[in-house]
Amino acid sequence: MRIVLVGPPGAGKGTQAHVLAKTLSIPHISTGDLFRANISQGTPLGVEAKSYMDAGRLVPDEVTIGMAKDRMLQEDAAGGFLLDGFPRNLGQAEALDAFLTEQGIALDGVLDLEVPEDEVVKRIAGRRLCRKNGAHVFHVVYNQPKTEGVCDECGGELYQRSDDTEEAVRVRLEEYHSKTEPIIGYYQEQGLLVTISALGKVDEVTERAVAALEQKKNKND
């Protein structure tokens, strides 16, 4: 399956993507995680991305599109992938379409995670990520690790993202409304959109997501 995940920051894309990718046996490709890996390794790409990310702004397309394509061309992604955080604007969505056409492949569905804005702010404020694997995401109230500050899955140290500040979150939400939301209409026109509510427990949302994606795939086949 080839799936795109969309939703505002804090909708739980990363959390759901991690579980969905395991369930569907496809790699989870997160442009945010790729940028964060580049930042921690101090690569030139990471240095460039960091200033945009900390401010809550989108990293320029020239940098992002190339990085996403390189990742999709890796061997483990040959049979499918789950894109989390890409595309994030119409230019990226069009670049992705061109890439897929070039490769002779297509998307099976675009999963839109809907969540009210006040919930998003609460989720982001308490979010903690694992330093060893950014796909391991916790929350100080809603999804507590068994031991405070320690990742349940791999024992890594939990930390708060530098763009999870109030100011950066406000900018990220603005960027989402002005730049990312238009891709929802774009995918709706292509008949690919599946919208589910991202409210409720993590595993309830996962169940909803799997059911919605399977229904979509059966309709497409």
Kindly tell me which of 52 and 214 has the beta carbon lying closer to ligand ADP.
52
Closest distance of CB 27 from ligand ADP, Å? 16
Does 58 bind ligand ADP (CB under 6 A)? Our answer is yes
Residue nearest to ligand ADP (CB): 32
Q: Shortest CA distance to 170 belongs to which of 124, 129, 114? A: 124
**How far apart are alpha carbons 6 and 85 in whole angstroms?**
7
Any catalytic annotation for residue 128? no
CB 49 within 8 A of CB 35: yes
One residue of 5, 12, 35, 135 binding ligand ADP per CB under 6 A: 35
How many residues form the binding site for ligand ADP (CB under 6 A)?
Answer: 19
**How far apart are alpha carbons 190 and 195 in whole angstroms?**
14
Catalytic residue among 36, 50, 71, 88: 88
DSSP state of 177: I
Element (H, E) at 166: helix 166-175
Task: List the interface residues with ligand ADP, window 66-105 (CB under 6 A).
Answer: 85-86, 88, 92
One residue of 59, 113, 120, 209 binding ligand ADP per CB under 6 A: 59
Q: Shortest CA distance to 112 belongs to which of 175, 169, 184? A: 184
Distance in Å from the first CA to the final CA of the chain:
12
For ligand ADP, the binding residues (CB under 6 A) are 9-10, 13, 31-32, 35, 52-53, 56-59, 64, 85-86, 88, 92, 163, 172
- Any idea which residues carry the catalytic annotation? 13, 88, 127, 161, 172
